[in-house]
Amino acid sequence: MIRHLVLWKLEASTREEKEIVVEELRARFAALVPQIDGTERLDIRADLGSTEGNWDVVLDSDYRDEEALEYYQAHPAHLEVVQYVKSVVTARACIDFSDRAALA
């Protein structure tokens, strides 16, 4: 199992605007799970907004193995969602890991 975490800072500035973007992200990413083999779980969560400097949104997802993650990342449906994401975020951070992963 591979866990894929992506953090985003949103371009939206008000809480209401951010909520709209988060709901759109949830809908778009949820639609990917049944389309992309090897995608085990995919969850979008918004920061509480109570700590200055926190990232706004996290994508927390699991994949059967590294090949499934690579397949997901190159899948046309995912690439379409990526275009939307790029239009609403100002910064991105990511980490992929498994229980077996170790620093090289």
34 and 95 in contact (C-beta within 8 Å)? no
CA-to-CA distance for 58 and 102, rounded, in angstroms?
23
Domain coordinates in residue numbering, the chain: 2-94
Class of domain 2-94: alpha beta
Whether the CB-CB separation of 79 and 72 falls below 8 Å is answered with: no
Predicted confidence (pLDDT) per residue in 89-99, tens digit: 999 999 999 97
Q: Which of 39, 23, 21 is nearest to 78 (CA)?
A: 39
- Which residue, 13, 20, 103, 92, is CA-closest to 58? 92
| Tens digit of each residue's pLDDT (9 = 90 or more) over 29-87 | 999 999 999 999 999 999 999 999 999 999 999 999 999 999 999 999 999 999 999 99
